[in-house]
Amino acid sequence: MKTTPHIVVLDDEIDITQLLASYLHGHGFRVTQVHEGRTLMALMESDPADLVLLDLGLPGEDGFSIARRMRERWHCGLVIVTGRGDAVDKVVGLEVGADDYVTKPFDLRELVARVKAVLRRVTPASPAPTAASTDTLRFAGWELDTAAHSLRNPQGEQVQLTGGEFDLLQALARHPGRVLSRDFLLEQTRGREAAPFDRTIDVQVGRLRKKIEADADDPQLIKSVRGAGYILVPPVAHG
């Protein structure tokens, strides 16, 4: 990355934000501490974050609501860091657009590894890309530009994807007509830093279908194969 990534830590516990800010700063990040949602929104207007670490248990507006608002306006990394480890909360967090979900207490080294993994997904790489990794993948009128990390619909309009959604669609588009297992897709979208979580891919596929299918309840592009995984049905052209 050419510039120092800007990380915003949103938590109502000052000692937590100070701890994270100090540790992340020591790993080369620029860090801003905020303690409520409205402060985060104002900051995003003046000094946008590359990635936000978001607590759920906030006074006033809850973290899920803040995550939804973030995804409506900005395309940046979003990692939920919370003491709420219930599986339902994890699913909801992913459904509202989080790229990752970390429960407290956490290992600081693991958190940094997850932050770096999300930043790699949401930030285009700086070296000159190779043809194999940066071509445009076209299917059913859709265009996935792997160099610009962008997706355009058949009408030519850009459709916003999270980092995880982009990686998922790219993995499917690079293997059209093949059933890809959840384990394979999990590795492609979250990397080796990811902890196993059975429903991660199912949630991301559901979000992706809402963005690219005419009817998400009757998908024609991304099909489920019971007990096996998912398949991108239409042929894909490169170039």
What is the model's pLDDT at position 190? Answer: 65
Helix, strand, or coil (residue 60): coil
Instruction: Say yes or no: do domains 6-122 and 131-238 share a fold.
Output: no
What's the pLDDT score for residue 192? 39
CATH 1.10.3720.10 fits 6-122, yes or no: no
Return the bridge partners of 238, or none: 137
Q: Any idea of the CA torsion for 175, 181, 183, 186, to the nearest 10 degrees?
A: 50
Q: Which amino acid is at 153?
A: N
Residue with tokens 């501490």: 33
Cβ(154)–Cβ(142) below 8 Å:
yes
The pLDDT of residue 122: 76
pLDDT in tens, 192-223: 344 444 577 888 899 899 999 999 999 999 99
- Per this entry, what is the length of the chain? 239
Strand, coil or helix: what is 163? helix
Ranges of residues in the chain with a pLDDT under 50 are 1, 125-133, 192-197
Domain boundaries of the chain, sorted by first residue: 6-122, 131-238
pLDDT at residue 238, rounded to an integer: 85
Token duo for residue 115: 């932050």
∠ CA 123-195-91 to the nearest 5 degrees? 80
CATH of domain 131-238: 1.10.10.10
Reduced to 3 states (helix: H, G, I; strand: E, B; else coil), residue 237 is strand
pLDDT for 198:
53
Residues 6+ positions from 217 with CB-CB distance below 8 Å? none
SS3 call for 37: helix
